[in-house]
Structure 1
Amino acid sequence: MYSELITMNRRRPLHFVVVTYQVQGHINPAIHLANRLIQIAGARITFSTPVSAHRRMFPSSAAPDQEVEDGLISYIPFSDGYDDGFHDYHSRHEVDHFISRSKQIASENLSSLVASLSARGRLVTCIIYTFFSPWVADVACDHGIPSILYWIQSATVFAIHYHYFHGYDGLVAAHRSEPLFTVRLPGLRSFHIRDLPSLLTISADDLLYSSLNTVREVFAATDSEKAWPRPTLLVNSFDVLEVDGLAAVGDEVDVITVGPLLPSACTRDRDAEELTSATDLFKSDRKAYMEWLDTKPERSVVYVSFGTVIVARKKQLEEILLGLKECGRPYLLVVRKDNPREGVELVEGENGMVVEWCSQTRVLSHPSVGCFVTHCGWNSSLESLAYGVPTVAVPQILDQRMNACMAEEAWGTGIRGELNEEGVLEGSELQRCLDAVMGEGELGVEIRRQAEKWRDNAREAIGDGGSSDRNLRASVEEVMRKATE
């Protein structure tokens, strides 16, 4: 059957428009999905993100706001009215205005883009969008095109949001100031308030409350008839990783696992890794840190990175450096260029290297890396699982707290560092965690064993004939059938 559908695709090629929010944590998994769609179905992809991100992806382009062709992927940006980015995160009013205005302008310009593609003979088969862009479903509906939400967080976090927006918001709101209060949601094991996604526990006057309303719109779109063929989403996870999370919404939503989608040896796609590095919003000198890692013994290096959003405070950076020094293990520390460094001595030498950015999948796949000190964003969580690297979790915002909870309690692949009253991971606590994870004690041995087990499970899921591979192929088949009706 699949070969027959591929033959149909040659007669009427599939054309997916992939629309993503303008941050690296959305762009990367969207690119990985686009490459898998090309790999398994020969689909044509139009990858679209706001101009502000497109310019950073292609800084050397002679026409930075124009289309960039790369094989079967065309990168075509749309304007959201903030082509130089939005930087005025000073008041709730300013953030609200940004979200409202950018949504209106982005909707109009994406609609024009879809019409332009059709006029050029590139009819759009389906639009896929990440979850901070719920307005995309309206654009797709206006053009009579099916749309699918690509949920780039965990299935468990999706289920938590689902129940929150379907009757449990009052319970969470009533106890949001009680971090150890136990929350019980249908189909899920018990959690503490402190483990829930941070957007669900903020007050109405919080600067990020607008973001909660945006996520609320995502679920409103999922509940509506605009979803196709019924409330459906692709999630960057795999079946055995989140059995409870996948079952927790019952038959109300069709949650389809297609991950872990990574540009790595885990997915057998080195070309995709090179492409993702080329489109990173942050650039790095890969040769230097990879050569440094080559000089270190197996599983000896502590890799520390808090992703593309979190900026470490001066006190936190100082404590991390203190803990790394005291533990005595070689370390690779990422301190982004936009992270304040004044007054912080970033000591480098034989035992430590500090970089402004790096290819995380390259680093995690290196045999010298023995532990990942991470903020526990979902992309980083999946990458650590896919490469079998144990973690020390230092969660901050959004879904990171739940990801840290699952790594420690559900998967057994790491431990969570405890923050002090100021929200800082002290150097002594970091040292304790590293000694536990990387040491030869019973806990460290078991964590490494679990990390290897989940690595094998992840590779099986995304490999030929694995659960996620089958799921994505079946989704493409359904799109093909609809396109030929």
Structure 2
Amino acid sequence: MAAAAAQAQPRVMVLPFPAQGHVIPLMELSRKLVEHGLEIDFVNTEFNHGRVLQALAEDGAIPGGVHMLSIPDGLGPADDHTDIGALVKGLPAAMSGRLEEMIRSRKTNWMIADVSMSWALELATTVGVRVALFSTYSAAVFALRMNLPKLIEDGVVDESGNVKRHERVQLMPPVDAAEIPWVSLGSTPERRRTNIQNVLRTNRLMPLAETIICNTFMEMEPDALALLPNALPIGPLVAPTSRPAGHFLPEDLTCLAWLDAQAPCSVVYVAFGSSGILDATQFQELADGLALSGRPFLWVVRPNFTTGATEGWLDAFKRRVEGKGLIVGWAPQQRVLSHPAVACFVSHCGWNSTMEGMLHGVPFLCWPYFADQFANQSYVCNVWGTGIKLCRDERGVVTKEEIESKVARLLGDEGVKARAATWKNEACASIEEGGSSHQCLLKLVNLLGEVGSHPITA
């Protein structure tokens, strides 16, 4: 009898794109779904599977009901497994056959596919699995993605990702044409063309998804969500602060004791996510700017964060700021942002970091790097009013003087602080029982609980 009951549990496959910022929110979604009785098969690439398990700092970080599975990404041992362009190009061929075998053998009922893995929608529906899409970026950027054919038709960009008309794209939030995510993500003309063509190709598969799960909340993006009638906003998706899962690097918890020793609202927290890279000039300007600010700072410098700056230079800088600043390889970001000592967040404005900063009411100093980060900066600065942008000089460098000036300006702006506090209250209310995101989560659970409409064939 128990075995029959277990068999009846809806089984959901979760398929993230193999990058840190994609794995983390989907892991948090999985955590919520198993709390409602669903069985989750979480599929990482073999390369990331090992990194995730190795980085778990404590037993029990992966809840029961989440089954961690792995699949090859098609790259060889000597290849760069963080090369987004190579992954986008090669994953469908490398993973499709194995995924189909996994779906059939595990009797999968539903697939939740990362929007960057949209190619899998066709595979899933072909083998009789119902599909939901997960947006790892804002509802506004998803709407922008769906509007890309119209931007090409209007001559703003072409099908190779070249900007033809330098103008503001007036979606919510407005962005410059050169800051359209799939344009800014391409470091070479070939990459831009690959990105644009991939979006155009996979956009045609979107109708296969029965819903779009968004890591946002209704009050935050009402205009954008109005453009996505089948969206379920269930964010902010955040981990319980004591049980992180999905990180690729071990967290340095010593920074929490250091924060405990700092004055309330005094610390500048600096973190650029898992993929941003600064050259030696920019890295040193940032370091000097933090020192000039006169504020205590916590700075995340992960391995390979900079090109050209030597370990000797960084060691000398650490000695220079000892007692005033702390540098760590990776931080428990949820616990840092919720700490009363933190005054502001110098961020690349990745969507996960943006949502986490909003949830904890922390003002932003925005330093976008690529992809959707420019649109998120526009939200922060132009729509929500919870931060200000750092500007580059004629060399494309954010100078130490700019950093010093903007830190002082942000921390003296009571309006920004008040708006950040208001949005914190809105975000917290949305995920509490009865809140807009909580209600959407229950709708999603009910939808995923519908099994048997598309039976799996052997």
What TM-score do you get using the length of structure 2 for normalisation? 0.88
1:412 to 380, 385, 396: 385
- Compared with structure 1, are the counterparts of its residues 367 and 483 closer, same or farther at alpha carbon in structure 2 (3 Å cutoff)? farther
C-alpha distance in 1 between matches for 2:274 and 2:67: 24
Q: 1:50 aligns with which of 40, 45, 49?
A: 45
Q: 1:19 aligns with which of 9, 15, 19?
A: 15
| Higher RCO by CA contacts (8 Å cutoff, separation 6 or greater) | 2
2:265 and 2:153 map into 1 onto residues whose CA distance is 44
One-letter code aligned to 2:439: R
Native 8 Å contact 1:9 1:480 kept in 2? no
Partner of 1:74: 67
Amino acid at match of 2:368: P
Check conservation: 1:80, 1:109, Cα contact below 8 A: no
The whole-number CA distance in structure 2 between the counterparts of 1:331 and 1:60 is 25
Instruction: Determine whether 1:339 maps to 2:305.
Output: yes
- Structure 1 residue 350, shift from structure 2 partner: 1.0
Report what 1:320 is aligned to.
Answer: 286
Shift of 1:198: 5.0
* Counterpart in the other structure of 1:182: 168
Are residue 280 (structure 1) and residue 247 (structure 2) matched?
yes
Aligned residue in 2 for 1:111? 100
Identity across aligned pairs (percent)? 26
User: Judging changes above 3 Å, is the alpha-carbon distance between structure 1 residues 110 and 222 closer, same or farther for their aligned structure 2 residues?
Assistant: same
Q: TM-score, normalised by structure 1?
A: 0.83
State the AA in 1 paired with 2:389: R
Gapped regions of structure 2 (runs ≥ 5): none
Shift of residue 331, structure 1, vs aligned partner? 0.2
**1:172 equivalent among 147, 156, 164:** 156
- Give the alignment of 1:422-433 within 5 angstroms: 422-433=395-406
- Counterpart residue type for residue 414 of structure 2: V
Quickly say closer, same or farther: Cα 1:45–1:203, change in 2 above 3 A.
closer
**Corresponding residue for residue 300 of structure 1:** 266
Structure 1 distance, partners of 2:333, 2:380, is 18
Equivalent residues in 2 for 1:150-169, closer than 5 Å:
150-166=134-150, 168=152
Q: How many residues are aligned here? A: 437
Residue 478 of structure 1 deviates from its aligned partner by: 2.3
| Aligned residues of 2:350 and 2:373 also touching (Cα < 8 A) | yes
Shift of residue 69 of structure 1?
7.9
Of the three residues 452, 457, 461, the one matched with 2:426 is 457
Report the alpha carbon displacement of residue 359 of structure 1 after superposing the two structures with TM: 1.1
Report the Cα offset of residue 208 of structure 1: 4.3
Greater shift, 145-154 or 210-219, is seen at: 210-219
Deviations 1:46-68 (A, max 9, x none): 1001111101112399xxxxxx9
The answer to whether the 8 A contact 1:376-1:395 is kept is yes
Question: Are 1:301 and 1:370, in contact at CA under 8 Å, matched by a contact in 2?
Answer: yes
Give the match for residue 267 of structure 1.
none
How far apart are the structure 2 equivalents of 1:85 and 1:403?
A: 34
AA aligned opposite 2:111:
I
1:290 and 2:269 aligned: no
SS of the equivalent of 2:375 reads helix
Q: Contact 1:107–1:139 (CA<8 Å) still a contact in 2? A: yes
Does the Cα contact within 8 Å between 1:373 and 1:391 map onto a contact in 2? yes
Q: Which amino acid aligns with 1:430?
A: I
* Secondary structure at 1:71 match in 2: coil
Instruction: Select 2:115's aligned residue among 131, 147, 155.
Output: 131
Give the counterpart of 1:258 among 230, 234, 243.
234
Is this contact kept in 1: 2:118–2:206, CA < 8 A?
no
Change (3 A) 1:378 1:9: farther
Structure 2 counterpart of 1:111, which letter? Answer: E
Could you say what secondary structure the match of 1:292 adopts? helix
Q: Shift of residue 182 of structure 1?
A: 2.6
| Structure 1 position 456, deviation (Å) | 0.6
How far is 1:190 from its partner?
Answer: 4.5
Pick from 281, 284, 296 the counterpart of residue 330 of structure 1.
296
5+ residue gaps, structure 1, are 1-7, 62-67, 118-122, 265-269
